[in-house]
Structure 1
Amino acid sequence: MRSATRYLAAHPRDLTLLTLWSLLEAGQTWLLGYALARALDDGFLAGVNGAGLGWLAVAAGAVAVAAYGTGRVYRCVAALVEPARDALVRRVVRRALDAPDDAAVSRLTHQVEIARDTLAGLILVLRSFVFTAIGALVGLFVLAPQLLLVVAPPLLAGLILFAATLRPLAHRQERFLAADEAVAGELGRAVGGLRDIRAAGAEHRVAAAAAAPVNAERAAAESVARWAGVRVLSVSVGGRLPILLLLITAPWLLRQGVTPGALAGALVYLTQSLLPALQSLMEGLGTTGSRLFVVLRRLLAEPAAPPPVRVAAPPDPYAISLSQVTFAYGPHAEPVLKGLDLDVPAGTHLAITGPSGSGKSTLTALIAGLLAPGGGEVRAVADRVLVPQEAYVFSGTVRENLTYLCPRPPGDAETLAAAERIGAAELTDRIGGLDATADPAALSGGERQLLALVRAYLAPGRLVLLDEAASELDPAAELRAERAFRRRPDTTLVVVAHRAGAAARADLVLELDGSEAELTRPRSTGHRSDPALPL
Structure 2
Amino acid sequence: MTSSTGLPARGLRFLLARRRVLVRLTVWSVLETGQTFLIGYGPARALDEGFLHGRADVGLVWLAVTGLGVLLGAYGTARVYAAVADLVEPLRDRLVERVVSRGVRSGDAGSLSGLTQQVEIARDTFAGLVMVSRSFVFTSVGALVGLFALAPPLLLVVGPPLAVGMALFATTLRPLARRQETFLVADEALAGDLGTVCPGLRDITATGAEAQIAAGTGERVEAELRAARALAHWGVLRVASLTIGGQLPIVLLLAAAPWLLSHGVTTGALVGALAYVTQSLLPALRNLIHGLGTSGSRLTVVLRRLARPDTADDTATPPPPATSPHPTSTATADRPQRAGGPAAADHTANDGRGAPAPTPSRSHTATKPPPAVSLTSVTFAYGPASAPVVHDLDLVLPPGAHLAVVGPSGTGKSTLTALVAGLLTPSRGTVRVGGHPVPGPAAAAARVLIPQEAYVFGGTLAENLAYLRPDPVPEEELLAAAEAVGLAPLADRLGGLDARVEPPALSAGERQLVALTRAYLSYAPLALLDEATCHLDPETEERAERAFAARPGGTLVVVAHRISSARRAGRVLVMDGRSTAYGGHEELLRSCALYRDLVGSWSPALAR
Flag whether TM exceeds 0.5 (same fold).
yes
TM-score normalized by the length of structure 2: 0.70
1:125/1:277 contact within 8 Å kept: yes
Structure label with greater radius of gyration: 2
Distance 1:238 1:442, change over 3 A: farther
Corresponding residue of 1:435:
none
Corresponding residue of 2:48:
41
Corresponding residue of 2:382:
329
| 273-282 or 80-89, larger mean C-alpha shift | 80-89
Corresponding residue of 1:365:
418
1:384/1:465 contact within 8 Å kept: no
Q: CA RMSD in A?
A: 4.6
Corresponding residue of 1:80:
87
2:523 to 460, 470, 483: 460
Corresponding residue of 1:434:
none
What pairs with 1:184-223 in structure 2 (closer than 5 Å)? 184-185=191-192, 209=216, 212-223=219-230
**What is the SS of the residue equivalent to 2:556?**
strand
1:41/1:260 contact within 8 Å kept: yes
Q: Distance in 1 between matches of 2:275 and 2:506?
A: 51
2:556 to 479, 485, 493: 493
1:319/1:492 contact within 8 Å kept: yes
| 397-406 or 97-106, larger mean C-alpha shift | 397-406
Distance 1:237 1:322, change over 3 A: closer
Q: CA deviation at 1:60?
A: 3.3
1:28 to 35, 40, 61: 35
Corresponding residue of 1:430:
499
Q: CA deviation at 1:75?
A: 3.8
**What is the SS of the residue equivalent to 2:53?**
coil
Confirm or deny that 1:268 pairs with 2:296.
Answer: no
Alignment deviations for residues 149-184 of structure 1 (CA, whole Å, 9 cap, x no partner): 332222122111111121122222223333334444
Q: CA deviation at 1:292?
A: 2.1
Corresponding residue of 1:247:
254
Distance 1:486 1:218, change over 3 A: closer
Confirm or deny that 1:111 pairs with 2:147.
Answer: no
Q: CA deviation at 1:274?
A: 0.9
Q: CA deviation at 1:271?
A: 0.6
Q: Distance in 1 between matches of 2:508 and 2:227?
A: 38
Q: Distance in 2 between matches of 1:419 and 1:71?
A: 51
Distance 1:465 1:170, change over 3 A: same
Confirm or deny that 1:15 pairs with 2:78.
Answer: no
2:298 to 291, 306, 317: 291
Amino acid of the structure 1 residue aligned with 2:386: A
**What is the SS of the residue equivalent to 1:410?**
coil
**What is the SS of the residue equivalent to 2:309?**
coil
2:164 to 154, 157, 179: 157
Alignment deviations for residues 199-257 of structure 1 (CA, whole Å, 9 cap, x no partner): 66665555555555444444433332222211112112211222222223333433444
1:418/1:458 contact within 8 Å kept: no
| 55-64 or 125-134, larger mean C-alpha shift | 55-64
**What is the SS of the residue equivalent to 1:66?**
helix
1:180/1:217 contact within 8 Å kept: yes
1:193/1:330 contact within 8 Å kept: no
Amino acid of the structure 2 residue aligned with 1:140: L
1:224 to 225, 228, 231: 231
**What is the SS of the residue equivalent to 1:251?**
helix
Q: Distance in 2 between matches of 1:10 and 1:449?
A: 44
Corresponding residue of 2:358:
none
2:203/2:412 contact within 8 Å kept: no
Distance 1:452 1:239, change over 3 A: farther
Confirm or deny that 1:173 pairs with 2:180.
Answer: yes
| 336-345 or 293-302, larger mean C-alpha shift | 336-345
Q: Distance in 2 between matches of 1:82 and 1:440?
A: 26
Q: CA deviation at 1:372?
A: 4.2
Q: Distance in 2 between matches of 1:96 and 1:342?
A: 29
Q: Distance in 1 between matches of 2:307 and 2:133?
A: 23
Amino acid of the structure 2 residue aligned with 1:278: L
Distance 1:214 1:364, change over 3 A: closer
Q: Distance in 2 between matches of 1:441 and 1:136?
A: 55
Amino acid of the structure 2 residue aligned with 1:119: F
How many residues of Structure 1 are paired with residues of Structure 2 in the alignment?
A: 524
Amino acid of the structure 1 residue aligned with 2:299: L
Q: CA deviation at 1:126?
A: 1.3
**What is the SS of the residue equivalent to 1:316?**
coil
Corresponding residue of 1:237:
244
Distance 1:167 1:283, change over 3 A: same
Q: Distance in 2 between matches of 1:47 and 1:446?
A: 84
1:418/1:454 contact within 8 Å kept: no
| 139-148 or 164-173, larger mean C-alpha shift | 139-148
Confirm or deny that 1:143 pairs with 2:143.
Answer: no
| 472-481 or 246-255, larger mean C-alpha shift | 472-481
Segments of structure 2 that go 5 or more residues without pairing to the other structure are: 1-6, 321-338, 346-370, 436-444, 596-608
1:228/1:287 contact within 8 Å kept: no
| 39-48 or 373-382, larger mean C-alpha shift | 373-382
Confirm or deny that 1:282 pairs with 2:289.
Answer: yes
**What is the SS of the residue equivalent to 1:465?**
strand
TM-score normalized by the length of structure 1: 0.78
Q: CA deviation at 1:328?
A: 2.3
1:22/1:73 contact within 8 Å kept: yes
